[in-house]
Amino acid sequence: MTLRTRITDLLGIEHPIVQGGMMWVGRAELASAVSNAGGLGILTALTQPTPDDLRREIDRCRSMTDKPFGVNLTILPSVSPPPYAEYRKAIIESGVKIVETAGYKPQEHVDDFKSHGILVLHKCTAVRHALSAERMGVDVISIDGFECAGHPGEDDIPGLVLIPAAADKVKIPMLASGGFGDGRGLAAALALGAEGINMGTRFCATVEAPIHDNIKQFIVANDERATNLIFRKFKNTGRVAKSGVSDQVVEIGNRPDAVFEDIRPLVSGAKGREALETGDLDAGLVWAGQIQGLIHDVPTCAELVSRIAREAEEIISSRLAGFIA
């Protein structure tokens, strides 16, 4: 038995398991390993300092796998935004066939990618956003529940409700994202109306993830309560691993007179990168979701993807079937 869904057919992958884009983590080592394992690996465009660096990273990934992989482009409102159009051009000119978009007003990017025959997966945290993206012409929705690492939006709807609520209205294929890390989650996602899963935190705790082993062991040691919600006051909620740094960010952010400048030095991307690369948990934020409570080892991507697929198949064919009288 193998799991075949619209996601596996559309993306040309063996298992309906996608590695989401992650800042500083979505590099060729990880993306190629996930793709070689039968899932879909994704490079993170803005991890690369320039569009030319992204071109080189795409070439490097291509030298490490002959399977499909994608590139993530996350669009965030900013006073001094990166040159998104140039990153987009690098993706298109490199012949990438699958792009994961996320963030703010992606229409211009979606239109350009679609005009070049590129499949677009768009990550959303609300049903209304998913329907808007569907109208925009994207090919796949990644619906991201409140359990997720990163930015879960401001509605606070967990996956158990958000996924079927979206499945009731969205007609294109859907990935379930936020809180997934094992075969039980994949089977549940399929039951709720999704056709695959998107995982971030779980792929951080793999052999090939290009981050320090201290961070991987930190994730394994954490439980489901070990996250903090930051930036709530600024209407830009983020879920990160609970640490001395994130505790401090929450404490400062909760002050009645707090402004973003008060926490800026603690939350910079450069500091987060330092934490991931050196293993120093006091250096910066580590973005991780509640799925930490279900992560108990650091396997290779091949071991992880095959295990998840096998567990889901066994649950669907044996355990659930056994409940039918």
Predicted pLDDT at 76: 86
Q: Which residues of 124-154 are buried (b: 16+ CB within 10 A; e: fewer)?
A: bbbbebbbebbebebbbbbbbbbbbbbbbbe
Domain with residue 57: its CATH number is 3.20.20.70
Question: Can you tell me the distance from the alpha carbon of 251 to that of 254, in angstroms, rounded to the nearest whole number?
Answer: 5
Predicted pLDDT at 79: 74
Give yes or no: residues 115 and 262 share one domain. no
**Residue 121's pLDDT band (boundaries 50, 70, 90)?**
very high
pLDDT exceeds cutoff 80 at 1: no
- Assess if residue 228 is contained within a domain: yes
- Assess if residue 79 is contained within a domain: yes
Give yes or no: residues 160 and 234 share one domain. no
| Total domain count, the chain | 2
Note the pLDDT tens digit of each residue in 63-109: 999 999 999 999 987 778 999 999 999 999 999 999 999 998 899 99
Note the pLDDT tens digit of each residue in 190-240: 999 999 999 999 999 999 999 999 999 999 999 999 999 999 999 999 999
Give yes or no: residues 160 and 263 share one domain. no
- Average pLDDT of the chain? 97
- Assess if residue 241 is contained within a domain: yes
Give yes or no: residues 13 and 140 share one domain. yes
Predicted pLDDT at 45: 98
Residue 165, Cβ density class (10 Å: 0-12 exposed, 13-18 middle, ≥19 buried): middle
In the chain, the percentage of residues whose pLDDT exceeds 90 is 96
- Assess if residue 1 is contained within a domain: no
Note the pLDDT tens digit of each residue in 267-285: 999 999 999 999 999 999 9
- Assess if residue 280 is contained within a domain: yes
Give yes or no: residues 155 and 223 share one domain. no
Give yes or no: residues 136 and 277 share one domain. no
Structure-token pair, residue 32: 């190629």
pLDDT exceeds cutoff 80 at 316: yes
Question: Can you tell me the distance from the alpha carbon of 282 to that of 199, in angstroms, rounded to the nearest whole number?
Answer: 25
The residue segments making up the domain with residue 158 are: 6-208+300-323
Give yes or no: residues 279 and 312 share one domain. no
Give yes or no: residues 100 and 13 share one domain. yes
Contact 150, 125 (CB under 8 A): no
Give yes or no: residues 43 and 189 share one domain. yes
Predicted pLDDT at 104: 85
Give yes or no: residues 125 and 84 share one domain. yes
Give yes or no: residues 267 and 315 share one domain. no
Give yes or no: residues 75 and 191 share one domain. yes
* Closest by CA position to 186, among listed 26, 17, 300: 17
- Assess if residue 295 is contained within a domain: no
Predicted pLDDT at 77: 77
